Amino acid sequence: MTSKLFASAVKSRLRFCLSTLVIAAAGIFAMPDAKAQSIDLPGGITLTPSMGVNLRYDDNIDNTVENEEESWLTVTTPNLLLEADSGVSAYSLSYSLSRADYLNADRDSYTDQELLVDATWNFHSRHRVEMNVEMLDIQQQPNNRAAVDLASLILERERYIEKEYSTTYTFGAEGARGRVEVTVGHNERDFVEEDGGRDLKVAYASGLFSFNIAGETDLLVRIEAAELDYEQQPDESDFDSREVNYMVGAEREGEVLSVGVMAGVGARTFEDPQVEDFKRPRWEAVAAWRPLENTELIFTAERATEETRGFANVIDAKSASVAWNHEWTGRISTEMSFRYTNADFEDSNVVENIRSGFASVEYEFLDGVTLLAGVTVLNQSATEPIFAEDRTRVFFGFEAALS
């Protein structure tokens, strides 16, 4: 029962030591997956190949305030998934490639790549270890993987390579009164262009303690710590820092309504005495309401920090979102969502107000073949006009199993 509700709404990895809440595990904003068929290989390994093809329209491909340029583009996304599960241990390796070609804009094609490796060992009913490796090669947004969250928006114009390694140890049997979960990891983000963002290395650790007080209600205590090491430019301040977050809260799971709330304080200390240290409240909340078996409403709210390109020491971000998922039939489903974010770039005059909406429909035309259509709308106002933006993206396509 340890933090099940938060686990379903929070990204599995702790990028920059902050568990960034994403609507419905970020799947609301990502392309839906087709129900691919697996191929059995020797040694208990299964192979699941799939292919996605999308035709997209983007009315502001350069993210500019004025002289917006529009274009159609095709995006082809092959994916390979290898899995093995012995009951005691489980392994998976996923590789995906997104190839995009602009049809009526003077812009080079781009290729994004993603490699994910996960391994889990259940040594005992009380002892569980999970290891994760993630490698990204992001040439140019948009890509199939990126969720429409604050971090993706900040890096929208950038090209970068990212590597992350993490290990999580869980002590406590499923259903036990108390459980402990400890995570350690390392993240590196290197920007390809010299005028891109600040290269960053982050070593992080977190601990989560869950104690069941009655039925499906758990008390939660979480501590997060991170050490951030930036590649400093000659004309920049030294933003190397250490951050610690302390959070307490509770969650309750029910068949119709599940609710989780955590609140606390976060503090960041900079090595450069000329950069002001700061403390700020931290909180996150999520509620999932399932009035019918085939429909779900998800509400989230959070206050967290994100890293910036270089002109501010950190972003203090407050967000709220609502999302609705509904299955009309066994083959037709829809998703809709709206998110609002207030992003305050500390130690600068920049404040952004970001509104994003998403809607999609998915139709399983044949077994293993899914037709997709959707739209994403972004409206971003800012105290500095250069950071303002309006953007609409539309996509049509399909995803299919190759087996």
Strand ranges (E), 172-214? 178-191, 200-214
Task: Classify residue 194 as exposed, middle or buried by CB count within 10 Å of its CB (0-12, 13-18, 19+).
Answer: exposed
* pLDDT tens for each residue of 65-75: 888 889 999 99
Mean pLDDT score across all residues of the chain: 84
Q: Which of 309, 366, 97 is nearest to 189 (CA)?
A: 309
- Reported as a pLDDT band with limits 50, 70 and 90, residue 14 is very low
Is the overall model pTM greater than 0.85, yes or no?
A: no
Q: Which of 96, 201, 79, 75 is nearest to 141 (CA)?
A: 75
Q: Is residue 92 over pLDDT 90?
A: yes
User: What is the mean predicted confidence (pLDDT) over 31-55?
Assistant: 77
Q: Which of 55-59, 64-68, 182-186, 188-192 has the lowest mean pLDDT?
A: 64-68
**Side-chain half-sphere exposure of 60, counting CA atoms within 13 A:** 18
Residue 77 parent element (H or E): strand 71-85
- Reported as a pLDDT band with limits 50, 70 and 90, residue 173 is confident
Q: What is the pLDDT of residue 16?
A: 32
* High-pLDDT (> 70) share of the chain, %: 84
Structure tokens at 287: 């509620």
Q: Is residue 200 over pLDDT 80?
A: yes
Q: Is residue 277 over pLDDT 70?
A: yes
Pairing of strands 257-270, 278-292: antiparallel
Q: What is the pLDDT of residue 29?
A: 30
Q: What is the pLDDT of residue 2?
A: 44
* pLDDT tens for each residue of 227-269: 999 887 656 667 889 999 999 999 999 999 999 999 999 999 9
User: What is the mean predicted confidence (pLDDT) over 85-91?
Assistant: 92
Q: At a CB cut-off of 8 Å and minimum separation 6, what does 366 contact?
A: none
* pLDDT tens for each residue of 108-155: 888 889 999 999 999 888 999 999 999 989 876 543 333 455 666 666
User: What is the mean predicted confidence (pLDDT) over 30-34?
Assistant: 37
Q: What is the pLDDT of residue 152?
A: 62
SS3 category, 283: strand
Q: Is residue 288 over pLDDT 80?
A: yes
Alpha-carbon distances, residue 92 vs 34, 80, 116, 220, 357 (angstroms): 18, 10, 8, 30, 32
Q: Is residue 4 over pLDDT 70?
A: no
Q: Is residue 389 over pLDDT 90?
A: no
Q: Is residue 19 over pLDDT 50?
A: no
